[in-house]
Amino acid sequence: MKKNIRFETIAIHGGGPMDPATGAVVTPIYQTSTFKQSKIGEHKGFEYARTHNPTRQALERTLAALEMGNHGFAFSSGMAAIDSVLRLLKPGDHVLAMNDLYGGTYRLFEGIYSAYDIEFSYYPASNNQEFLKEVKPNTAMIWLETPTNPYLNISDIAMVASYVSSLKQRPLVCVDNTFATPYLQRPLALGADIVVHSTTKYLGGHSDLVGGAAITNNSKIAEKLAFVQNAVGAVPGPMDCFLVQRGLKTLALRMDQHAQNAKKVALYLADRPEISKVIYPDLETHPQYELAQRQMRNAGGIVSVIFKGGGAAGKLFAESTRYFTLAESLGAVESLIEIPAAMTHMSTADSPLAVDSALVRLSVGLEHVNDLIDDLAQALDKLGYSS
């Protein structure tokens, strides 16, 4: 699509022309594993569905266009997308990562790739200058998540990208954009090389699929990712691609409402005596408030809170909400609540990435915000501070 087309329009039309075979307005679910060849090697662009599938291709085009990239690749999960990007590395390489990351990413780094002689180190990235001092001669990749899961730290993508551009051996800058989505921030436009997503979260948006994606503007990287995608085969099925594509059409609307609800929830929680700290990038108390204002269209739908009463208080709260469902995952229309230290980030226990057990992560959904706040109020009252 042309570059000056706006986000909402790309989200709806970015998959390319309507189905050429039938004129179907929505790209059909091409539930087929293989495609007829009229002669050997003569076909309509599709041979075997691990390599290409029209439903997947429509999704990959839309994702690329939304991220202002030229090449999009869909995967069977966010972890499969991250795994495919890590396959660009070779033994002896070093990856400089933030010390606050999705637990599964840390588990993949340490549990799988460190055995292949790839070295990972973890530093706070909120102070970019200090973080960038840790780049070594063999640093082949910088791994950023912004905002991070679950502390919502923000790092300055443009600053990191411009710093590495001055290096002789330029590491690739990869950004996990799952929390922000391309509606809030577009890392490739800020100079990153690769963007990855768990499409399970906001992009799908309805808690009904698991998927991932990687997007780049660099045609050499794209060639390698296409090779990995086909050679390794962690591809999503057409039904899941269809569901992500459908989710994307309302992404802008959803993200605006998620952020409105999350801000109200954050302000409400900040006034409650049970809570020692509310973390939300659109609160002036957030240490990178200015950067968040600059880098992101809005601050998204995740709010993290730390309980004065520690892990026990957080646990009682998280088990007492009604509309905030106690469950892993995030980014869907329904509100979810979880305790990272005991759930999504268990793999980081006793590591430099360990999460405070008193931290509760809220994924603020699209229910009416007053109902959400009433729900939080009744759960907080259970802690007995007001009596």
Instruction: Give the residue numbers annotated as catalytic, written as ranges.
Output: 50, 102, 176, 201
Using CB under 6 A as the binding rule, whether residue 333 contacts ligand PLP is answered as no
Residue 203 per-residue DSSP state = T
Pair 199, 209: CB distance under 8 Å: yes
Using CB under 6 A as the binding rule, whether residue 343 contacts ligand PLP is answered as no
Using CB under 6 A as the binding rule, whether residue 78 contacts ligand PLP is answered as yes
Using CB under 6 A as the binding rule, whether residue 176 contacts ligand PLP is answered as yes
Using CB under 6 A as the binding rule, whether residue 245 contacts ligand PLP is answered as no
Contact letters (x/-) for ligand PLP, 105-134, by CB under 6 A?
x-----------------------------
Stretch that binds ligand PLP, among 5-13, 109-117, 131-139, 197-205 (CB under 6 A): 197-205
Give the dihedral sign, CA 271/273/274/277.
Answer: positive
Using CB under 6 A as the binding rule, whether residue 201 contacts ligand PLP is answered as yes
C-alpha 290: how far from chain center:
22
Between 77 and 348, name the residue whose CB sits nearer to ligand PLP. 77
Pair 317, 375: CB distance under 8 Å: no
- Where helices occur in the chain by DSSP H, the ranges are 7-13, 54-66, 78-86, 103-111, 128-132, 157-165, 181-184, 219-232, 238-248, 251-270, 289-295, 310-318, 369-381
Residue at token pair 């329904």: 334
Using CB under 6 A as the binding rule, whether residue 210 contacts ligand PLP is answered as yes
Smallest separation (angstroms) from ligand PLP to the CB of 139: 21
Which residue in 58, 63, 65, 79 binds ligand PLP (CB under 6 A)?
79
Distance CA 166, CA 40 (A): 49
Distance CA 276, CA 273 (A): 7
Between 27 and 198, name the residue whose CB sits nearer to ligand PLP. 198
Smallest separation (angstroms) from ligand PLP to the CB of 12: 24
Using CB under 6 A as the binding rule, whether residue 99 contacts ligand PLP is answered as no
Type of residue at 154: I
Interacting residues toward ligand PLP by CB under 6 A: 77-79, 102, 104-105, 145, 149, 176, 178-179, 198, 200-201, 210, 212
